[in-house]
Structure formats: structure tokens, C-alpha cells
Amino acid sequence: MKKSIFLLAAILMASVCSAQTLDEIANKYYAANGLENLEKAQTLIIQGKTSQMGMELPLTIMVKRPDKVKVLQEYNGMKIIIAFDGEKGYMVNPLTGATDPVEIPAEQLGSVQEYNMFNDSFMKAFKEGKVTLKGEEEVEGKPAYKLAVTVADGSVTTIFIDKETFLTLKSTQTVSQMGQEMEVESYVREHKEVNGVRFGSVISQFVNGMELGGMTLEKIEIDTEIDDSVFIIQ
């Protein structure tokens, strides 16, 4: 009986310590990334590029609170546009042969909000009690906290937060495509600070261990005025 009591006490103590550690990680992550400053911002304009199969493609992301988003990706002189005006989402994709806007189905609008860089998936999940501390692990020689984060669509992303800087080093997620499961790893190589906010600015992406591309954020503007009409595609 005493052994059972001691075991229960040990389990409860471990749970309390884990909760305290998770709270500490979240608080330091919030401070290190300047999220208090980000919460005060009303607009973001991000210019950069993505790299895929040896090609560099210009990228622009515009975001306006609470949820307006516009993404422009250039490919061979053509512009792929994704936009959400606060009510409906639209896409223009010349690669499909269509030049007119096509409405994005309601069930797919969540993927558009993935470009909304006001939304920090870790902090959102933490506030909802959907983050679990899985221990510690080194990422390219740097000690990191390993955390399982349940995101909006119910899937789980594992993120690794630097124990010293409390910035994100890496994230991993298993995705299914054409009936096959793939492990997608994203490494944050560099961070850029703008108006007291830190953004992951150089990201390398691997699929099943093979590097396939990445993203570089070259210019970030905070609170530059954006008219609502920018998010409307006609």
C-alpha cells in the first residue's frame, strides 16, 4: 500500500513539475519572440522567396488583422494569388490554365490562414492545453525542448525550442499525400528581428530526410497601411 502511495505521489509530482516547466518554456518563448509587440501590430507585409528544385520563386505575404490574408507567388512570369477578404477566399492559378478567380471552399480556408503570421500555433495550442512536453533532444548540436503541439486541424506537429534562446530550431510533421505518409522537417536557420519581433527568416525543408527547398524572408514591414481592397480579388 505504501509503495502505491509513493508511486502516486511521484506521478503527481512529475506532472506538476512538467506543467511548471511547460509554463516556463511558454513564457520565455513568448518573451524571446517579442509576441507582445506582435499582438499590438495591425498589419504585416513580408517579401522573400521560396526555393524548389533549384528554382527561386518571389513571394509576398500581406496580413491585416483580424484575419485578412493575401499571398502572391511568382513562377515563370505568372502570378499565383491566394486571398481571404475576411469572409471568402479566392485563388488565381494560371498554372491550371485559369486566369479568373476561383472561390476556395470553406473547408479549405484553414490552409489559407496558415499564412497568417499573426497566429503563433505554439502559443495558441498552449493556451488551449494542447501542448505536451516530450523531453529534451539536441538539434544540430543545440540542446532543445521537444514539444508535441496539436494544431487546428487536429494533427500533431513536434517543435524543438532552443533551451538557451527559446527560439524555434526545428519542427516536424507527418503528412499524407497520395496515400503515402511523409515526414516533413523544417529547420529555422536564421531569425530576423523587426520592431522587437523575431521571425524565422531562413527555413530549410526536408521530406523523408531529403532537402527539397526552403523559404527566405528578405523584408518585413510592420504596421504599413494596407487598404481592405487589396484582399478582394475580382
pLDDT tens-digit series, residues 50-89: 998 788 999 999 999 999 999 999 988 899 999 999 999 9
Q: Is residue 89 in a domain?
A: no
Give the domain extent around 137: 2-59+116-223
Look over the chain and give the mean of its residue pLDDT values, rounded to a whole number. 90
- Give the model's confidence band at 16: pLDDT under 50 very low, under 70 low, under 90 confident, else very high: very low
Q: Confirm if 172 and 157 have CB atoms less than 8 A apart.
A: yes
Q: Confirm if 111 and 81 have CB atoms less than 8 A apart.
A: no
Q: Is residue 28 in a domain?
A: yes
Residue closest to 64 by CA, chosen among 37, 47, 46: 46
- Give the model's confidence band at 18: pLDDT under 50 very low, under 70 low, under 90 confident, else very high: low
pTM for the predicted model, two decimal places: 0.87
- Residue 53 confidence (pLDDT): 78
| Number of domain units in the chain | 1
Residue closest to 81 by CA, chosen among 64, 65, 104: 104
For the cut 70, the answer to whether the pLDDT of residue 11 exceeds it is: no
- In sign, the C-alpha dihedral spanning 111, 114, 116, 119 is positive
CA 88 from chain centre, in angstroms, equals 22
CB atoms within 10 A of CB 42: 14
- To which H or E segment does residue 122 belong? helix 121-127
Q: Is residue 90 in a domain?
A: no
Residue bearing the bigger pLDDT, 95 or 64: 64
For the cut 60, the answer to whether the pLDDT of residue 99 exceeds it is: yes
Averaged pLDDT, 132-147: 95
Q: Is residue 91 in a domain?
A: no
Percent of the chain with pLDDT over 70: 91
Q: Is residue 146 in a domain?
A: yes
Q: Is residue 217 in a domain?
A: yes
Q: Is residue 109 in a domain?
A: no
- Residue 124 confidence (pLDDT): 94
Q: Is residue 44 in a domain?
A: yes
